[in-house]
Amino acid sequence: MTKNTTTNYNTTAANRDTTLADTGLDHALTASASTLSDEQDLNKIATVKTSMGSHLQDWLAGLQQANDVLPAALRFAETHLQVSSQNSGAISLPLIEQLEALPVFALTVVLQKQALAAKLDSDSNSNSDSSNNDSDSTQAAAFAAHIENWAQQNDHWQMISVPHSARQADAAQTLAESAQDPTITPVITYNYILLPTEAVNMQAGKKAAAAHLIDDSMTAHLHQFIASLPISIDMGGDDTIDCHIVPLAKVLRPHRVICFDMDSTLIEQEVINELANKAGIGEQVSKITEAAMRGEIDFDTSFSQRVGLLQGLSTTVLDDIQHTLTLSAGARPLIRKLKAIGYHTVLVSGGFTYFADRIAQTLGIDEVHANILDIDSATGTVTGQVNLPIVNGERKAVLVQKIAKRFNISPAQVVCVGDGANDLAMMAVADIGIAYHAKPIVRARADAAINATGLEGVLYVLGYLPEALLSHG
């Protein structure tokens, strides 16, 4: 799923240097189109940390295999894929800008290992561990063959496997079985580059139509394989697989900031519902929410009405709720990894700072934006008054833009993650909008939708392997 965006890198060299210094980003990866002029375009660069750059090299090595169909300005030699400690280290922004206009996509398929295990359990007559391991590899290879069969059925498209130096996929299993985080979903990831088979079809105008065609066709194709597996509903059904089709330029672009919604994204609960239940106003709040969903009242009105119903609620109750909130699966290792590779992490919520500040502190998130829950200090109760401005969908988008401006970067270097309709506006201004176990309307309009894993799936959308979760840098 793709948004139609135009990237504008207008950061000056001075601002860029200051920004990178402020965020502690190192210099590592060099990748530039071989025909670009040093005087014209190669000074427009973005630096990346070594640990962030290694996975980009894999994708670029795959893209290099398509030199015969790429426009001349985007063809590059082996030397341009090397990490250089002497160069200031860059991935060429002009390369990304030109590539972004073309129908060249990163395909990442994420499959829960339990899906293959279910197939093995139904087929195997042996209890031998070695036999099971061999069968496991056979099933994984069979699924890869099924993915690649899509290209054989679509003559106008080629599928290039991204070389990962045989580093695949027991990493998430290892992490899940360790004490680090048992909430990680064991998966196997498959990475490919999709692009036309002929240079004549490598045109900017074909990108949008191609994205929709590939998305629908590939998803249907993968579900054919899933349908053959003995997967029960309690194992997730179709949600045992994620298929992310994102313009390759978005995977190559070095992002600097990532923004998360809180309720049903970073945490499993919707705090307003928890508050309503504790206050004994659950039915009233539900009616307001339903009216908002029908479009009878806007978000700000519904928010004000719901907060008003909380008048008199004690901070003791708030604290009780705060201690019952649970982090979403994969949240801890994801935030830890993102910070290690240089991301500035932000919590942007239509909820309340009373809860958001604690969640951010628990996860080590750098910055918080949420609504202030007005409390009477004399009585220790909620006043029911609303503090303006309300952090609604539009406000979230404004905040994302302001954060990008403060860091002297384009919104094209921002990623946003959320689950609800009020997250769509900030997803729209970001380079990559990721729907997390989201409502159908959000899944349809996001760049990628995570259903098969916890929040660690964000890394897979960005082109990383499960093994990235095992390293802290």
Q: What is the pLDDT of residues 400-414, one digit of tens each?
A: 999 999 999 999 999
3-state secondary structure of 241: strand
Cis previous bond, 333, omega within 30: no
Whether pLDDT at 246 is above 80: yes
Burial class (CB in 10 A: 0-12, 13-18, 19+), 101: middle
Whether pLDDT at 82 is above 70: no
- Please give the average per-residue pLDDT across 48-69, as a whole number: 76
Lookup result for tokens 């609960």? 269
**pLDDT value at position 179?**
40
Does 352 reside within a domain? Answer: yes
Whether pLDDT at 55 is above 80: no
Does 88 reside within a domain? Answer: yes
- Angle at which helices 207-227 and 129-153 cross, to 10°: 140
End-to-end CA, the chain: 30
Q: What is the largest CA-CA distance in the chain?
A: 73
**pLDDT value at position 51?**
52
Does 135 reside within a domain? Answer: no
What's the CATH code of the domain at 361?
3.40.50.1000
Q: How far is CA 409 from CA 10, 15, 346, 396, in A?
A: 8, 9, 15, 17
Instruction: Give residues with Cβ within 8 angstroms of 177, minimum separation 6.
Output: none
Measured distance CA(96)–CA(203) in Å, rounded: 15
Lookup result for tokens 């909380």? 310
Q: Are 434 and 303 in contact (CB under 8 A)?
A: no
Give residue-wise pLDDT tens across range 380-389.
Answer: 999 999 999 9
Q: What would the two tokens of residue 466 be?
A: 């499960």
- 376 as an active site residue: the answer is no
Q: Where a domain ends, among 350, 378, 397?
A: 397
What percent of the chain lies above the pLDDT cut of 90?
A: 49
User: Which of the four pLDDT bands, split at 50, 70 and 90, describes residue 61?
Assistant: confident
Q: What would the two tokens of residue 307 be?
A: 């907060």
Specify the number of domains making up the chain.
2
Does 268 reside within a domain? Answer: yes
Q: Where a domain ends, among 66, 100, 134?
A: 100
Q: What would the two tokens of residue 175 be?
A: 């992490």
**pLDDT value at position 2?**
46
User: Which of the four pLDDT bands, split at 50, 70 and 90, describes residue 40?
Assistant: very low
Measured distance CA(56)–CA(77) in Å, rounded: 15
Name the range with the highest mean pLDDT among 55-64, 92-101, 104-113, 358-367.
Answer: 358-367
Does 285 reside within a domain? Answer: yes
Lookup result for tokens 């991301």? 343
Annotated catalytic residue, options 261, 419, 423, 431: 261
Whether pLDDT at 16 is above 50: no
User: Which of the four pLDDT bands, split at 50, 70 and 90, describes residue 88?
Assistant: very low
Measured distance CA(410)–CA(427) in Å, rounded: 14
Does 71 reside within a domain? Answer: yes
Measured distance CA(159)–CA(62) in Å, rounded: 10
Q: How far out from the chain centre does Cα 158 lie?
A: 25
User: Which of the four pLDDT bands, split at 50, 70 and 90, describes residue 207?
Assistant: confident
Annotated catalytic residue, options 41, 136, 181, 263: 263
Does 444 reside within a domain? Answer: no
Q: Are 70 and 202 in contact (CB under 8 A)?
A: yes
3-state secondary structure of 308: helix
Higher pLDDT, 164 or 391: 391
Q: What would the two tokens of residue 265 be?
A: 């994204």
Q: Are 167 and 189 in contact (CB under 8 A)?
A: no
Give residue-wise pLDDT tens across range 295-306.
Answer: 788 889 999 999
Helix/strand number for the chain, H first, E second: 18, 14
- 298 as an active site residue: the answer is no
Whether pLDDT at 95 is above 80: no
Higher pLDDT, 209 or 424: 424
Query: Residue 300 belongs to what domain range?
Result: 260-397
Whether pLDDT at 431 is above 90: yes
Does 462 reside within a domain? Answer: no
Q: Where a domain ends, among 100, 125, 156?
A: 100
Instruction: Give residues with Cβ within 8 angstroms of 13, minimum separation 6.
Output: 43
